[in-house]
Amino acid sequence: MGMGRKTEEACLTFVYFHFNYRTRQHAVKFNQQKQKQTVDSSSSCFKIPPLTLTWVSVFILFLFSPVFPAISARHHHQIFRPRQQSNKMKLVEAHLNKINKPFVKSIQSPDGDTIDCVLSHHQPAFDHPKLKGQKPLDPPESYDQAENRSENHQLWSLSGESCPEGTIPIRRTTKQDILRANSIRKFGRKIRPIRRDTSSYGHEHAVGYVSGNKYYGAKASINVWAPKVANRYEFSLSQMWLISGSFGNDLNTIEAGWQVSPELYGDSHPRFFTYWTTDAYQTTGCYNLLCSGFIQTNNRIAIGAAISPTSLYNGGQFDISLLIWKDPKHGNWWLEFGKGTLVGYWPASLFTHLRDHASMVQFGGEIVNSRASGSHTLTQMGSGHFSGLGFSKASYFRNMQVVDWGNNLIPLSNFKILADHPNCYDIRGGTNRAWGNYIYYGGPGKNPRCP
């Protein structure tokens, strides 16, 4: 069943906001003020006649007595703020204990990450009420699965170490990761989408998409770059979206690709990521394994880990192949990385609309434009160059396909492209025998045509 033009247009407006950052006040240095006050008082006491000193003492006692609320309240405020900070750190520690599971081995990555090898049945997924007590399913028989020998292409694996069988690699979350977030509760989550015309802030896209049919998966090879991100509150990503629902409170999505996110990871490396939601990003879903839901089965791929190598302008090009497909037997959505390497799956029970099928598939790039300097952001999309420059200069998706009801990969039909702000980031599509359906997309952000 088709989604209709109104719903289709609504898809291309869902944007997320990460900018409700509250200004923090600094605590008063009470002890320094108290010390200074004591020195000043003692030096002036020698100038006060003996009879006057008695009245001054009475006055000081009166000021610091409980019946003088102004001084009492101020003093209470000064000792309360450090306690507030202490309570926050307790919440941070509690959240870390929730998502960082006990491990049997840890591996240090060259980029500073720590990868923990966690027993597969202890992973965060099984904290979900619908998944408690379960264990990972065996991989289904894939129609296009190779011998599971593809290269890893992740920095942490360059050491030659790996996680033992029966465990999965999980990027350890640090205290600094959580403190960079807008709030502890929203750590690892997107903000509920709001239409672009309701705010000057928002996410900007350059995407190709198909809609109007029932889709049971999607596949593409995604060119990997390291775009510059202007500040820690913005990101740049390239991904596939499987979408179903009305773009209201019941929006379901499954997402996978690569992203540069200083807020989430604390650096500028492109990283392999996943996301899901079943209620329009309100309370369900998260990036990677930062909440319960996605069940990982692979012991060699770490979701959220840095990708290496990356593409070079007018030089060597590197891409990753991603496939998301629905297992006909159990209905779960499996994620494949590279040639036949199954990473894990999103259980069908997590979803409402996506329990059956997707009604739209998107491929492309997205950035956050916070307009922190009062003008358009300098955050780059893709390679940071416009689509017209073509191969080795612009970023691309190639061999884009969807999965039909018979579990077959088929070319895209009625494929459309759209760029929210074509003077900042643009897109163009095409087909050929080598690449099938493909797109070039991206841009530099702020430039003379994008003020």
Residues assigned a catalytic role = 255, 366
DSSP annotation of 157 reads G
Written as six digits, the tokens of 449 are 């045509």
DSSP annotation of 188 reads T
List of residues 6+ apart from 49 with CB closer than 8 A? none
Task: Please give the single-letter amino acid code of residue 352.
Answer: T
Say if residues 383 and 395 touch (Cβ distance below 8 Å).
Answer: yes
Residue that is written with structure tokens 């020195």 in the block: 39
Task: Please give the single-letter amino acid code of residue 55.
Answer: W
Taking the C-alpha atoms of residue 425 and residue 246, their distance in angstroms, rounded to an integer, is 27
Written as six digits, the tokens of 396 are 């691309």
Identify the helix (H) or strand (E) that includes residue 324.
Answer: strand 319-326
Residue that is written with structure tokens 């089965």 in the block: 297
Taking the C-alpha atoms of residue 204 and residue 411, their distance in angstroms, rounded to an integer, is 26
Taking the C-alpha atoms of residue 363 and residue 437, their distance in angstroms, rounded to an integer, is 11
Say if residues 421 and 368 touch (Cβ distance below 8 Å).
Answer: no
C-beta contacts of 404-413 below 8 A and 24+ residues apart: 404/215, 404/216, 405/214, 405/216, 405/357, 407/143, 407/216, 407/325, 407/326, 407/328, 408/143, 409/144, 409/219, 411/436, 411/437, 412/208, 412/210, 412/437, 413/210, 413/213
Before 136, cis peptide (omega within 30)? no
SS3 category, 213 = strand
β-bridge mates for residue 320, sequence order:
222
Say if residues 412 and 402 touch (Cβ distance below 8 Å).
Answer: yes
Q: List the end-to-end C-alpha distance of the chain, in Å, as a whole number.
A: 41
Structure-derived torsion over alpha carbons of residues 139, 143, 144, 146, reported in degrees to the nearest 10: 50
DSSP annotation of 345 reads E
Closest CA to 426 of 374, 372, 376, 390: 390
